[in-house]
Amino acid sequence: MKLHTPLRAFFLALILLGTACKNEKTGQQSEDDAAFTLDRPLNEAVIQLDAEPDRLNPALSTSVYSRTVFNGIFLNLLFIDPATLELAPQLAKARPGITPIRSGPYKGGLAYTFDIHEEAVWDNGSPVTGEDYVFTLKVVFNPRVSAQAYRAYLSFIKDVQVDPGNPRRFTVYTSQQYIIGEEAVSSTLPILPAYHYDPEGLLRDIPLSTLSDEAAAEKLAAKDNRLQQFAEMFQSPRYNREPEGIAGCGPYRLETWETGQRIVLAKKENWWGDALAAKYPALSGFPDKLIYRVITDPNTAITALKDGQTDAMGNVPPNRFDELKETEFVARRYNFFSPASLAHTFIYTNTQSPKLSDKRVRQALAYAVNVGEIIETVFYGYGEPSVSPIHPSAKYYNKKLSPIPYDPDKARALLAEAGWADSNNNGIVDKEINGERVEMNLNYKYTAGRDIAQNTALLIQESARRAGFNIELEAKEFAVISDDLKSRNFELAPWAKTISPTLWEPKQDFHSEGDNRTGFGNAETDALIDRIQVTIDEQVRNQLYEELQAILFEEMPIVYILVPTSRIAVHKRFEAEATPLFPGFLPTQLKLKEAR
């Protein structure tokens, strides 16, 4: 699905502006001396992560930190080009041939035909085929596998036919003309090797068409233990964290994972994609090693950057970004970029909690959060208020929505409408629920070790108290919060999500059948999301988008905070292009320059 031209032009202009913000050179020779004087291998890229991935299993993780790492291990059929923000070939030779289905059980849908590179092989030397794509779908559609987030995207896929004369050629059959159909079938998940992740062939004889039918899949799972047996094996530590259990057809293999310290990917010798990289840039894997250092403390991360211990940092603390650019010895070694970020930050609310089930309470919380203060004091102006899951530059962004101002009096009025009042004059509103007097105490889980997260939490705690909320702060590890969100074991939790550069697909976040962490969703919104998914007419779809944004703004299952501006530093010995996609650069494409 192509990015609309005005939106694409907007982002490309911002990338160029971000590139232009590099420091002026203080002398070519001195910069080269600084860039190529290191006490470690020049072609090993050390990349800072401010949170540890939860796992390196693409079907089980939705973390951007995990994706940043495993993108070097696994390949998609197509991927979003970081420069053009359009779909481009990766494991597939080209974008698919797409034909309407005019008869049969999938009439009205589309068929997508792909060809995989003849050179593509797994680590054991066997070819990557359409059967591996089929296996990957079976994994996701197995109801015993915790892959709800991806099932929501891929439920329109009904079957796959592999060419009997050419196993690298296959056709994906879908039941509807999905607005992001090409993107969904080609880049939602990388392809997994069936021989490796299902060594006993537990899923081999189960038809994909059975598993893609939700009712049939549940019925089969109730009587066929193979689905549960596979799920337990697939979700075990071996296939999520251990080097011998992580395998893809990408340029890198997992060498080591030292929990809380580093994850090391090593370039494969004689990797098949090297011969194709000139024609297919998405197959590039330039560094000999990618070393991801988990440094959660911002000050420690800055010190490591200054000492030359890290080569790329995708989330420089906003209060230090200008300082680093103006520090001569740092500016001689690093280039700095500040492209637009395709992301937004917000607070998840558990709408199933008795305290948060009334939309007026959630609205009150939005009025109780001083977003302007957060942007200025925590993000040092590197951001703008958010009112939608859609980026403000998108043509289908609802411009009728305005950021909610900080107004504790308005918040108290909304709480009073919902039956919450300060009956004991302790400053915190309360209400009788099921015969018990309940104070408006809300647990707020934020990621430990991050100054931005902690400072934001403290500001929210202070500003919300003036409105009658008592926000109880709890610092936890990123992976723990991620799991708590999936099980809806929370009341409030701040989060950030990547915004798609193509079309917005709201099912995962806001449909009752999706990975709906807030618990929000009803027949009206489900029906609206279902309509959006199949509305090809752009004008009509944009109207539906605006309608859904308005409903979400009214219901407030997430409290909007801001759309940040990226702050990136990359060592000058590497060629690097900034991109709005997280983390702001592509680690595999950090190309070592030649010393002058």
pLDDT in 10s for each residue of the chain, 596 residues: 334 444 444 444 444 344 444 444 444 445 666 677 888 999 999 999 999 999 999 999 989 999 999 999 999 999 999 888 889 999 999 999 999 999 999 999 999 999 999 999 999 999 999 999 999 999 999 999 999 889 988 999 999 999 999 999 999 999 999 999 999 999 999 999 999 999 999 999 999 999 999 999 999 999 999 999 999 999 999 999 999 999 999 999 999 999 999 999 999 999 999 999 999 999 999 999 999 999 988 899 999 999 999 999 998 999 899 999 999 999 999 999 998 788 899 999 999 999 999 999 999 999 999 999 999 999 999 999 999 999 888 889 999 999 999 999 999 999 999 999 999 999 999 999 989 999 999 999 999 988 899 999 999 999 999 999 999 999 999 989 999 998 999 999 999 988 888 889 898 889 988 888 999 988 999 999 999 998 989 999 999 999 999 999 999 999 999 999 999 999 999 999 999 888 999 999 999 998 76
Is-contact 495 346, C-beta < 8 A? yes
SS3 at position 353: coil
Amino acid 20: pLDDT = 42
Amino acid 596: pLDDT = 64
φ, ψ dihedrals at 234, nearest 5°: -65, -30
Nearest Cα to 572, choosing from 593, 545, 547?
593
Amino acid 463: pLDDT = 98
Neighbour count for residue 43 (Cβ, 10 Å): 14
- In sequence order, the β-bridge partners of residue 475 are 446
φ, ψ dihedrals at 344, nearest 5°: -145, 150
Is-contact 47 231, C-beta < 8 A? no
Amino acid 179: pLDDT = 92
* Ranges assigned E (strand) in 538-579: 558-564, 568-571, 574-575
What DSSP string describes 129-162?
-HHHHHHHHHHHH-TTSS-HHHHHHHTTEEEEEE
Is-contact 362 442, C-beta < 8 A? no
Q: What pLDDT digit, counting tens, does each position of 326-345 carry?
A: 999 999 999 999 987 888 99
Neighbour count for residue 118 (Cβ, 10 Å): 13
Burial of 41: CB neighbours in 10 Å, binned 0-12, 13-18, 19+: exposed
Nearest Cα to 396, choosing from 532, 554, 579, 584?
532
Q: What pLDDT digit, counting tens, does each position of 185-205 carry?
A: 999 999 999 999 999 999 999
SS3 at position 589: helix
Amino acid 30: pLDDT = 57
Nearest Cα to 83, choosing from 558, 555, 501?
501
Amino acid 568: pLDDT = 96
CA distance 446 to 482: 10
Q: What pLDDT digit, counting tens, does each position of 25-71 carry?
A: 444 445 666 677 888 999 999 999 999 999 999 999 989 999 999 99
In one-letter notation, the amino acid at residue 39 is D
Domains of the chain: 24-55+243-338+567-592 (3.40.190.10), 74-230 (3.90.76.10), 346-564 (3.10.105.10)
